[in-house]
Structures are given as structure tokens and as C-alpha cells.
Structure 1
């Protein structure tokens, strides 16, 4: 059985005002805020980070952001730095999400700069990787994932690597209701684990958590979370409602 603590992270995307966010996390904290068997992170939009962070005080639920810029400060209109996130007591940051890659043109080199900066600022990066439907149908899944993992982790040291979280999100299964089969998901997770062994050695690779990020819901979570190399979930739609998010945390607890 894996010694890695399961991680359930909620990516709220462009949803929830500060007031809505506070109401949501109060319900989440009331249900699972004191448990410590599973690591829980919520990632509100930038505008709700401060108010949600205050609502999480005293609980075991952690605060994450959905993105950041790699520069410390400067003329980058609309951007947020790692130091700004740390000032709000964020502990995690999602980097390289497929929506950032596809809508905003982020490439592996740019994402890698953010990964390096986040680690320097004691922020744990959740590095997202995954293939499009066209890439899967053409048989390129593993090639694409390898490029994204190796590119995203360029320059990360063996000492830093255990604080990195990798999230495999088949792009064709995000927000579509489609889910990779358990076998498809585990195959790619195991492949990523193998890449981490090559990059950092087996001992370090066994400490890195790999999340599944493609339409995980309470109904399919137990089967996915039972897989050897699936260490949790990066949750989209199901993170916007307290009951479904809590159910996912409970499923991760049961799968320990």
C-alpha cells in the first residue's frame, strides 16, 4: 500500500464571488475541516483568496491559487506574483492547466519558469499535464505527457521534487462528463511515475503525488482512487458544491 497521503484539490476556475466562496468553504470545513487523513486544498479565483483563506483559519483545509506569474514584480498587468500568494497564506498553486495552455498559449518553457519560481517561494506546484482527444486518438498520449512532465520539471532538484504534485488531466475528459477508464488513467499515472524515477530516482519518485484531473466525481472516485499510482484528484465541477467535494474527500479517506 502506498505511503503517499491522498490529496483532493478543488479548482473553482472562474466561479464564486468572495461571499459565495466563504459560504462554500464554511460548509466544507464543518464537514471535513478537522480530518487529517487526506490533504485537502481549495483553489478559489484570485478575488476570493483572502476571504476564503480567513474562513479556513483553524482548519486543516489548505489554500491554493489557480495560476501565478514567474516574475517577482513588474509591469505585468493582470498578473499575480508568488510573493502575493504567500502573503495570503496560500500553500499551493495550479500551474499549466490545460485551459491555460489552450486559451492563453502557455507552453512548457513558460510553465517551467513558474514551477521553479513557486518552489523558490515555498509554494507547492500542482503541475497539470494531459493530452487532447486528437492526441489520444493519434496514439500520442504518452509522448505528449512525457514532453510536458520533462519540460515542466526541468531544473527541479531531487530535494525539491517531493513537494511537487503532478495532475494528469486528459483534456478530452475535462468538463465533458467523459472519464478515462480506470485502466487508461492508471496506465498514464504509472507512466508518469516511471518518468519521475528516471528524473529523480525511485525513492524520490515514490514520494511524488500524481492526481487524476478528468471529471472525477463521487460515483467514479472509489475505483480511480484504488489504483496504485492515483494519489488523489484535481476536482473541477464537483468542487463547487460542498456535498460532492466532501464525498470525494471521504472516498479518498476510504481508499487509503
Structure 2
């Protein structure tokens, strides 16, 4: 059975004080959230420890936004899986389009990070998706298939979440039409050997479109950016109808 996973990606926002303020406004809204929905917050590295302490035995799970493929070493600015699991992190985002665009992430490095996450018992959220130019050139399907084939080499699909994030819809206010997102996510599913992998949609997910997005049969959750920064906004998304 496919699990519903709603994850908020805070990106490079929120100090420790701001993250605790968020929890104060958010946690009460979870009383109405169905138990089968997994709620995840992907916070900056500096927030993870304090959030973990304040979410002890709570249903909100923590995600990191990146992971290195080595356990330790001279890799300035990176973080290892054991550093994350030590403080209670359960998920990690791998291959987000911003990492690919701004920091040179490739399908090969994505693959190494995915395997490192799984070795440490973390569940990776693999991000795939196309740019506006690639979509206009009719390359969406071939690009995503390539990202999956290269990224998933020797990756355990029993411990994996995938997020389809059309790059042209991230932070732009443009959302991929729900039927089209459903179609592409169906394509992604057809490339997997495990039919139970949860596949999220990510790209300008907001309170006013989450119900339509989640009504699509192939979509198993959302990777939420800006709308996850405000407690009431993210709560509405988590509690979609």
C-alpha cells in the first residue's frame, strides 16, 4: 500500500527560534490529521537538533535537505548520514532541482547520496523534474526516465520516496495542471520495480490547490516549499480534504 507523505521543505529559511515559533502555531492543527498521513519537515541543518528535541515521540518526522555519500572525511560544508540519524532525522531530500542547478549535482552524485542515505537507515526523497525549456522542447519524458535510470542504480526501492518537481513551477506561482502532474507521475511509476513507492508532487503547492492535487490517483503526497513556512498554510495542506 502506498503511503501519503506531505513534506515541507523550508530551504534556507528559519533560525532555531523561528522554527520553535512555527511548532507552537502548527502542532495543534495535527489533531485533525488522519493518522495514515506522514507529516515531514525538511529543515536547515542548524534547526534539526532543536526540532528533534521538541518533537520527541511526536508524529511529525524530520528530514534533512542533503547528505554526503561518505561517512566522514575532508568534505567542508557537507553532512553525513550518521550525523543526521544521531539527532533523530528520518528522511533526506536528494537531488532537489536547486541542488542540481546551483551546486552542480548530477545524476551520478544523486545516486551516491541515495545509497548513502539508505545505508544509514534514512528514507531518501528523490527529486526529478524538467525545466521550462526542456518541457517546451518535448523532453520531459526522456529527461525524467534518464534521471530515474541513472539515479536509481542499486537503490532499494523498498525504502524510497520520489518527488516530481517541474522546475518551471517551483517558486513561480505556476502549478503544473493536476491531470498533467498525475500523468507524469504515472510515467515515473511505470519505470519502477516497486509499485508501492510513494510519489509526491512538488511545485507551487498551496492551500488553494492541494485538494485538487491530492484527488489525482497517482499522487501520494506533496513536497511543499514556500507554503510550508507558515503554520496555518502548511496545516491546511497537511489536512487536505
TM-score by length of 2: 0.97
CA contact (8 A) 2:32 2:239 kept: no
Shift of 1:62: 0.2
Uncovered stretches (5+) of structure 1, i.e. residues with no partner:
none
The structure with the largest helix share of the pair is 1
In structure 2, C-alpha distance between the alignment counterparts of 1:244 and 1:191, rounded to whole Å: 30
Shift of 1:28: 1.9
CA contact (8 A) 1:95 1:111 kept: yes
Q: Pairwise mapping of residues 215-230 of structure 1 onto structure 2 (< 5 A)? A: 215-230=204-219
Shift of 1:150: 1.4
Confirm or deny that 1:62 pairs with 2:61. yes
CA contact (8 A) 1:62 1:90 kept: yes
Shift of 1:29: 1.8
Uncovered stretches (5+) of structure 2, i.e. residues with no partner:
none
Return the match for 2:173 from 152, 172, 177: 177
Shift of 1:63: 0.6
In structure 2, C-alpha distance between the alignment counterparts of 1:20 and 1:143, rounded to whole Å: 41
Return the match for 2:203 from 177, 190, 214: 214
CA contact (8 A) 1:7 1:40 kept: yes
Q: Which runs of 4+ in 1 moved over 6 A?
A: none
Match of 1:190 in 2: 186
In structure 2, C-alpha distance between the alignment counterparts of 1:60 and 1:91, rounded to whole Å: 12
Match of 1:126 in 2: 125
- Number of aligned residue pairs: 240
Seen in structure 2, the aligned counterparts of structure 1 residues 148 and 33 have a Cα distance that, compared at 3 Å, is: farther
Q: Pairwise mapping of residues 18-57 of structure 1 onto structure 2 (< 5 A)? A: 18-32=16-30, 35=33, 36-57=35-56
Match of 1:150 in 2: 149
RMSD (CA atoms): 1.1
Q: Which moves more between the two structures, 30-39 or 217-226?
A: 30-39
TM-score by length of 1: 0.91
Shift of 1:34: 8.0
CA contact (8 A) 1:112 1:151 kept: yes
Shift of 1:55: 1.5
Match of 2:139 in 1: 140
Match of 1:247 in 2: 236
In structure 1, C-alpha distance between the alignment counterparts of 2:36 and 2:197, rounded to whole Å: 17
Shift of 1:5: 2.5
